[in-house]
Amino acid sequence: MKNFLHVGCGPQYKDSLKGFKDWQEIRFDIDPKVKPDILGSLTDMSAVEDKSVEALYSSHNIEHLYPHEVPKAIAEFYRVLKDDGFVVIVCPDLQSVAKEIVNGKLIEALYESPMGPISALDILYGHVGSIRGGNTYMAHKSGFTFPVLSGLFREAGFGITFGAAIPSEYSIWMICSKNERTQQELNLLASEFLP
Protein backbone atom coordinates (compact mmCIF):
# COMPACT_ATOMS: atom_id res chain seq x y z
CA MET A 1 0.00 0.00 0.00
CA LYS A 2 1.32 3.48 -0.85
CA ASN A 3 1.87 5.87 2.07
CA PHE A 4 1.38 9.62 2.39
CA LEU A 5 2.29 12.18 5.01
CA HIS A 6 -0.71 14.33 5.95
CA VAL A 7 0.99 17.48 7.29
CA GLY A 8 -0.83 20.10 9.36
CA CYS A 9 -3.66 17.60 9.40
CA GLY A 10 -5.65 19.27 12.19
CA PRO A 11 -8.67 17.09 13.06
CA GLN A 12 -8.86 15.75 9.48
CA TYR A 13 -8.35 12.13 8.40
CA LYS A 14 -7.85 10.74 4.89
CA ASP A 15 -11.55 9.94 4.45
CA SER A 16 -12.26 13.63 3.88
CA LEU A 17 -9.52 14.02 1.22
CA LYS A 18 -9.87 13.44 -2.50
CA GLY A 19 -7.76 10.57 -3.85
CA PHE A 20 -6.10 9.13 -0.75
CA LYS A 21 -8.71 6.65 0.49
CA ASP A 22 -6.65 3.55 -0.41
CA TRP A 23 -3.36 4.99 0.89
CA GLN A 24 -1.71 4.48 4.27
CA GLU A 25 -1.96 7.82 6.11
CA ILE A 26 0.65 9.27 8.49
CA ARG A 27 -0.79 12.31 10.27
CA PHE A 28 1.64 15.09 11.29
CA ASP A 29 0.84 18.28 13.23
CA ILE A 30 2.34 20.68 15.75
CA ASP A 31 -0.76 20.53 17.95
CA PRO A 32 -0.99 17.47 20.27
CA LYS A 33 -4.74 18.08 20.65
CA VAL A 34 -5.41 16.75 17.13
CA LYS A 35 -3.66 13.45 18.02
CA PRO A 36 -1.17 13.27 15.13
CA ASP A 37 0.90 10.12 14.56
CA ILE A 38 3.94 12.41 14.54
CA LEU A 39 4.11 15.61 16.56
CA GLY A 40 6.34 18.23 14.97
CA SER A 41 6.70 21.40 12.95
CA LEU A 42 6.74 21.69 9.18
CA THR A 43 10.10 23.41 9.53
CA ASP A 44 11.70 20.41 11.28
CA MET A 45 10.31 17.07 10.16
CA SER A 46 13.39 15.15 11.37
CA ALA A 47 11.13 12.42 12.82
CA VAL A 48 10.37 11.49 9.19
CA GLU A 49 13.11 9.66 7.29
CA ASP A 50 14.55 10.86 3.96
CA LYS A 51 12.68 9.57 0.86
CA SER A 52 10.22 7.60 2.98
CA VAL A 53 6.81 8.75 1.66
CA GLU A 54 5.19 8.51 -1.74
CA ALA A 55 3.10 11.65 -1.36
CA LEU A 56 2.53 14.54 1.00
CA TYR A 57 -0.77 16.36 1.52
CA SER A 58 -0.75 19.89 2.95
CA SER A 59 -4.07 21.70 3.34
CA HIS A 60 -4.15 25.16 4.85
CA ASN A 61 -0.98 25.05 6.91
CA ILE A 62 1.93 26.59 4.97
CA GLU A 63 0.43 30.05 5.64
CA HIS A 64 0.96 29.39 9.38
CA LEU A 65 4.73 29.82 8.86
CA TYR A 66 6.70 33.06 8.71
CA PRO A 67 7.85 33.84 5.15
CA HIS A 68 11.48 33.00 6.00
CA GLU A 69 10.38 29.55 7.28
CA VAL A 70 8.47 28.59 4.14
CA PRO A 71 11.54 27.50 2.08
CA LYS A 72 12.65 25.37 5.07
CA ALA A 73 9.30 23.56 5.11
CA ILE A 74 9.35 23.02 1.34
CA ALA A 75 12.91 21.64 1.63
CA GLU A 76 11.60 19.22 4.28
CA PHE A 77 8.76 18.16 1.94
CA TYR A 78 11.34 17.50 -0.79
CA ARG A 79 13.62 15.55 1.57
CA VAL A 80 10.97 13.13 2.89
CA LEU A 81 9.49 12.36 -0.54
CA LYS A 82 10.61 9.38 -2.61
CA ASP A 83 12.14 10.32 -5.99
CA ASP A 84 8.86 9.78 -7.81
CA GLY A 85 6.86 11.44 -5.03
CA PHE A 86 4.56 14.45 -5.19
CA VAL A 87 2.92 17.07 -2.99
CA VAL A 88 -0.73 18.09 -3.08
CA ILE A 89 -1.01 21.52 -1.50
CA VAL A 90 -3.89 23.90 -0.89
CA CYS A 91 -3.67 27.29 0.82
CA PRO A 92 -5.36 30.70 0.76
CA ASP A 93 -5.10 32.73 -2.45
CA LEU A 94 -4.28 36.30 -1.45
CA GLN A 95 -5.19 37.66 -4.88
CA SER A 96 -8.85 36.65 -4.66
CA VAL A 97 -9.08 37.76 -1.01
CA ALA A 98 -7.52 41.12 -1.91
CA LYS A 99 -10.27 41.69 -4.50
CA GLU A 100 -12.92 41.33 -1.77
CA ILE A 101 -11.08 43.80 0.48
CA VAL A 102 -10.76 46.32 -2.36
CA ASN A 103 -14.56 46.02 -2.70
CA GLY A 104 -14.98 46.84 0.99
CA LYS A 105 -15.55 43.33 2.38
CA LEU A 106 -13.13 42.71 5.24
CA ILE A 107 -15.18 41.32 8.12
CA GLU A 108 -18.35 40.18 6.31
CA ALA A 109 -18.77 36.42 5.81
CA LEU A 110 -17.49 35.33 2.38
CA TYR A 111 -18.57 31.70 2.87
CA GLU A 112 -19.65 29.20 5.52
CA SER A 113 -17.19 26.58 6.80
CA PRO A 114 -17.58 23.81 9.41
CA MET A 115 -16.00 26.35 11.84
CA GLY A 116 -18.66 28.96 10.96
CA PRO A 117 -18.62 32.03 8.70
CA ILE A 118 -15.25 32.94 7.16
CA SER A 119 -14.29 36.56 6.36
CA ALA A 120 -11.38 38.08 4.44
CA LEU A 121 -9.84 38.89 7.83
CA ASP A 122 -9.92 35.18 8.80
CA ILE A 123 -8.30 34.23 5.49
CA LEU A 124 -5.57 36.87 5.84
CA TYR A 125 -4.63 36.48 9.52
CA GLY A 126 -6.08 33.12 10.60
CA HIS A 127 -9.44 32.06 11.99
CA VAL A 128 -10.30 34.83 14.45
CA GLY A 129 -12.60 32.59 16.55
CA SER A 130 -9.95 29.86 17.00
CA ILE A 131 -7.25 32.39 17.91
CA ARG A 132 -9.66 34.12 20.36
CA GLY A 133 -10.17 30.67 21.93
CA GLY A 134 -6.41 30.42 22.56
CA ASN A 135 -5.31 28.32 19.55
CA THR A 136 -2.51 30.53 18.31
CA TYR A 137 -1.26 27.74 16.00
CA MET A 138 -4.15 28.95 13.79
CA ALA A 139 -2.58 32.40 13.20
CA HIS A 140 -1.45 33.09 9.62
CA LYS A 141 2.01 34.56 9.21
CA SER A 142 2.47 34.55 5.43
CA GLY A 143 0.48 34.43 2.22
CA PHE A 144 0.73 33.35 -1.40
CA THR A 145 -0.41 33.82 -4.96
CA PHE A 146 -0.22 30.92 -7.40
CA PRO A 147 2.96 32.15 -9.21
CA VAL A 148 4.73 32.85 -5.91
CA LEU A 149 3.92 29.44 -4.40
CA SER A 150 4.81 27.67 -7.63
CA GLY A 151 8.14 29.56 -7.78
CA LEU A 152 9.03 28.52 -4.23
CA PHE A 153 8.55 24.82 -5.05
CA ARG A 154 10.55 25.15 -8.28
CA GLU A 155 13.38 26.85 -6.36
CA ALA A 156 13.36 23.91 -3.90
CA GLY A 157 14.05 21.52 -6.79
CA PHE A 158 10.58 20.22 -7.69
CA GLY A 159 10.56 19.33 -11.41
CA ILE A 160 6.93 20.18 -12.11
CA THR A 161 4.29 22.34 -10.45
CA PHE A 162 0.80 22.66 -11.79
CA GLY A 163 -2.59 23.78 -10.55
CA ALA A 164 -4.39 27.10 -10.22
CA ALA A 165 -6.03 29.60 -7.95
CA ILE A 166 -9.74 28.90 -7.49
CA PRO A 167 -11.20 32.37 -6.76
CA SER A 168 -14.62 31.03 -5.72
CA GLU A 169 -12.84 29.10 -2.89
CA TYR A 170 -10.22 31.85 -2.20
CA SER A 171 -7.69 29.01 -2.50
CA ILE A 172 -4.71 27.86 -4.49
CA TRP A 173 -4.55 24.16 -5.38
CA MET A 174 -1.28 22.78 -6.67
CA ILE A 175 0.49 19.47 -7.34
CA CYS A 176 4.29 19.52 -7.21
CA SER A 177 6.15 16.52 -8.55
CA LYS A 178 9.80 15.84 -7.73
CA ASN A 179 10.38 14.34 -11.17
CA GLU A 180 9.39 15.31 -14.68
CA ARG A 181 6.17 13.56 -15.78
CA THR A 182 4.40 13.09 -19.09
CA GLN A 183 1.26 15.10 -19.84
CA GLN A 184 -0.74 11.89 -19.50
CA GLU A 185 0.66 11.27 -16.00
CA LEU A 186 -0.09 14.86 -14.98
CA ASN A 187 -3.68 14.61 -16.21
CA LEU A 188 -4.10 11.43 -14.17
CA LEU A 189 -2.72 13.07 -10.99
CA ALA A 190 -4.95 16.10 -11.51
CA SER A 191 -8.08 14.00 -11.94
CA GLU A 192 -7.24 11.91 -8.87
CA PHE A 193 -6.20 14.61 -6.40
CA LEU A 194 -7.42 18.07 -7.48
CA PRO A 195 -11.01 19.30 -6.95
Which parts of this chain interact with ligand SAM (CB under 6 A)?
8-10, 12, 29-31, 34, 41-42, 59-61, 64-65, 137-138
Task: Return d(Cα 173, Cα 165) in angstroms, integer.
Answer: 6
* Closest separation in Å from C-beta 177 to ligand SAM: 21
CA distances from 116 to 39, 92, 127 (A): 27, 17, 10
Which C-beta is closer to ligand SAM: that of 89 or that of 160? Answer: 89
* Closest separation in Å from C-beta 42 to ligand SAM: 4
Task: Return d(Cα 52, Cα 15) in angstroms, integer.
Answer: 22
Task: Return d(Cα 180, Cα 160) in angstroms, integer.
Answer: 6
Which C-beta is closer to ligand SAM: that of 77 or that of 181? Answer: 77
* Closest separation in Å from C-beta 193 to ligand SAM: 14
Task: Return d(Cα 88, Cα 157) in angstroms, integer.
Answer: 16
User: Are 24 and 2 spatial neighbours (Cβ–Cβ below 8 Å)?
Assistant: yes
Which C-beta is closer to ligand SAM: that of 60 or that of 178? Answer: 60
Which C-beta is closer to ligand SAM: that of 68 or that of 187? Answer: 68
